[in-house]
Amino acid sequence: MTSIIRIVKSIKRVPIRLTAIQWQHILKRHPKLKDFQDQILLTVERPYRIYSAPEKEFEFAALKVFPELREKGLAENLIVHYKELSKKDGFIITAFVMSDKRLKRRFRKWQIVYQS
């Protein structure tokens, strides 16, 4: 069994796990996010917006804006993909940053299911 780094609750109150395997996956693909683990978890807990994946039931993309990402030369939109397996379990799939232009293009077919 893989080790769990932390568990946070989604806006639906579902516990969402960040596992060591998924954290390593995020760091391998996006090494500049190594200092942003707390922000990744906060994005799931208190997102600005949540998108529902088309044709992938219970898979979501949470969005939160962090201006401090710009200091690392990154776009300030942090996206965290996660899946809710049940009302009592879910996990983070990946996380990455995205510009406003790419954000609009990538999520144009996704449904907004939450906005603060």
pTM above 0.85, yes or no: yes
pLDDT for res 18 = 98
Q: Spell out the domain ranges in the chain.
A: 4-115
Average pLDDT, stretch 37-45?
98
- Position with higher pLDDT, 16 vs 1: 16
Q: Is the dihedral of CA 110, 54, 7, 88 positive or negative?
A: positive
pLDDT digits (tens, 9 = 90+) for 65-92: 999 999 889 999 999 999 999 999 999 9
Residue 20 and residue 84: Cα distance in Å, rounded?
A: 18
